[in-house]
Amino acid sequence: METANNFLKQIIEKDLESKKHTFIVTRFPPEPNGYLHLGHAKSICLNFGLAQEYKGRCHLRFDDTNPETEDVEYVESIKNDVKWLGFDWNEHLYFASDYFQQLYDWAVYLIKEGKAYVCSLSEAELREYRGNFTTPGKDSPYRTRSVEENLKLFEQMKNGEFEEGAHVLRAKIDMKSPNMNMRDPLLYRIRKAHHHRTGDKWCIYPMYDYAHPLSDAIEGITHSICTLEFQDHRPFYDWCIENCPVTAHPHQYEFARMNMTYLVMSKRKLLQLVKEKYVDGWSDPRMPTISGIRRRGYTPESIRLFAERIGVAKAESVIEYDILESCVRDDLDARAHRAMAVLDPIKVVIENLPADYKEELESSVHPKKPELGKRKFYFTKEVYIESSDFQENPEADFFRLSPGKEVRLRNAYVIKCNEVIKDSSGKVTELHCTYLPETKGGKPTSDGRKIKGIIHWVSASECVEAEVRVYGRLFSVSDPENTPEGKDFKSNLNPDSLKVVKNAKLEVGLKEASLEHRYQFERVGYFCLDSQDSKPGALVFNMTVGLASGH
Ligand code: ATP
Ligand code: MG
């Protein structure tokens, strides 16, 4: 595959060449506090992809150090999503919570080494003592506590003898450091919260910045890849590795978070959309979650292709949503079964056919895959066409059906429109046409007239009706987070992001549509069955993506 400006590959290749490492170990470390989104998908493809490419391995590790926001529901959905994307952690499934005892022991070790202390400043005082970018921090009055006192207090913290916020454990580094993350960062805080895995065993929990490097070291991670906002945390990452008695020395590398136009990519914001019911749960097909795009019909192959195409950048950028959609189209074009479907029907009555006329016609399931065989459908006296394929007063460049004009019904015959029937309100209800028997299957008219337009159609008597959900973008502007004073990203939600077509008319063979296949409704777009709501006899299709960009 193409090596799209991936500086990480260069680093790994150098490390392998110099024998700094002989085996590459990466990890994907989600916090189980929400469903994964496209940004995570990028990180999964990157970490698992690098491990695959260099014949190493990638761990799935849950960074579960915040008991209040985490849940097993999220753990399960994350495992599902990683598998669905096509990756396998084999036996290497880990939880930071599995290391709580080890992390505690190392904290005790740091205290004994005089490198950590129990601080009893309040939260507000901690903030004040920390200073800011222009003001250096001040030493905490508790910084000089003796090792014995620190050991005793830390143990009491562990035993639940103090209230939340009474004390914290801090690293003793440098309150004057220009890097705020090095100003005696917190290692532990008291949280009397139930943890989804360790239950009530612990009432002190390690901070992410302390737990993460040490978890990497415990697992022998060689390349710890994270997003740019952790760049300033790297000195503390290294401090933990250097000052705790670990045997492995992982190194942290940063790449730019993936952002995309028309989306928000933050679990916190996506959670708001779910909780406040702007969408129908985490797996709403409009959501940029992996479970959402899966239900929408995006394929794992298209996401992996996308991750490869966009490459890995060191500087923040915003990826056009169109790039993702073109990856989805490229993948679906090669596999989708073809069918005809009319979403906004208008009835056509073929005057020169008897009422019970039923002719079997066929076409290929896939134009480039003869091995998939043929599909059958019927030409009958009444058929449906898309109402947008008819114009009573045609524009100059309109070559489809209009009064007195001819058009070819795809895979069938040329028809000519003789009469337009309207209801009392003037709305067109039927078109009366004649068909040209000699034009079957793409043949010319008897005098060789050129028929410019080809449209799709479905038999009115030999069809299946279904609900079709057509999606627009979830947000109506390309940068949803850019809002005027007093408004938030939700004010940019697209009110027309879901259009439900109740009685779409589908080619009869789609009665047997199945979840494992993808479909191209010819001239319309790519569709799949909805995994939650579709039932035999009451089919529901989701539109995955339109045929051309901008749809
Ligand atoms: P969010 O801000 O959406 O909550 P997060 O970074 O807090 O995301 P984690 O569960 O901590 O979520 O992330 C797991 C991994 O996924 C991390 O290594 C993180 O760097 C990576 N990741 C998260 N968002 C993106 C993104 N937009 N682009 C690339 N990688 C990402
Ligand atoms: Mg996070």
SS (H, E, C) 209-232: HHHHHHHHHHCCCCEEEEEHHHHH
Report residues of the chain scoring pLDDT below 70. 1-5, 549-551
Query: Distance, CA 31 to ligand 2 centroid (Å)?
Result: 6
What share of the chain has pLDDT > 70, as a percent? 99
Give CA–CA dist 191/130, Å, rounded: 22
Q: Whose CA is nearest to atom 25 of ligand 1?
A: 39
At 145, which CATH number? 3.40.50.620
Q: Is residue 215 part of a domain?
A: yes
In a shared domain, residues 123 and 242: yes
Secondary structure of residue 439 in the 3-state scheme:
helix
The catalytic site residues sit at: 31, 257, 267
Which atom of ligand 1 sits closest to the CA of residue 33? 10
Choose the final residue of a domain: 415, 432, 461. Answer: 461
The predicted structure's pLDDT at residue 549 = 66
Secondary structure of residue 165 in the 3-state scheme:
coil
The predicted structure's pLDDT at residue 441 = 86
What is the CB < 6 Å shell around ligand 1?
Answer: 29-31, 39-40, 42-43, 226-227, 257-258, 265-268
In a shared domain, residues 443 and 349: yes
Domain that holds residue 66: 7-255
In a shared domain, residues 366 and 476: no
Q: What is the DSSP string of 490-532?
A: GGGB-TTSEEEEEEEEEEGGGGG--TT--EEETTTEEEEE-TT
In a shared domain, residues 126 and 173: yes
The label of the residue with tokens 């028809």 reads: 415
Q: Whose CA is nearest to atom 1 of ligand 1?
A: 266
In a shared domain, residues 323 and 412: no
Q: Is residue 306 part of a domain?
A: no
Q: Is residue 388 part of a domain?
A: yes
In a shared domain, residues 97 and 237: yes
The predicted structure's pLDDT at residue 150 = 98
Q: Which residues sit opposite 529 in a β-bridge?
A: 541
DSSP letter at 106 equals H
Q: Whose CA is nearest to atom 24 of ligand 1?
A: 39
The predicted structure's pLDDT at residue 3 = 47
At 513, which CATH number? 2.40.240.10
Distances (CA, A) of 333 to 302, 338, 368, 372, 508: 11, 9, 10, 14, 21
Q: Is residue 260 part of a domain?
A: no
Secondary structure of residue 39 in the 3-state scheme:
helix
> Could you give the number of structural domains in the chain?
3
Mutate to test the pocket of ligand 1, among 27, 40, 229 (most ligand atoms within 8 A of CB): 40
Mutate to test the pocket of ligand 1, among 26, 28, 31, 43 (most ligand atoms within 8 A of CB): 43
The predicted structure's pLDDT at residue 425 = 95
How many CB atoms neighbour CB 463 within 10 A?
26
Q: Whose CA is nearest to atom 3 of ligand 1?
A: 266
Choose the final residue of a domain: 415, 435, 461. Answer: 461
| pTM for the full predicted model | 0.93
The predicted structure's pLDDT at residue 2 = 44
Query: Distance, CA 278 to ligand 1 centroid (Å)?
Result: 23
Which atom of ligand 1 sits closest to the CA of residue 29? 14
Quick one: which ligand is closest to 229's CA? 1
In a shared domain, residues 240 and 294: no
In a shared domain, residues 480 and 455: no
Give CA–CA dist 297/67, Å, rounded: 33
The predicted structure's pLDDT at residue 6 = 86
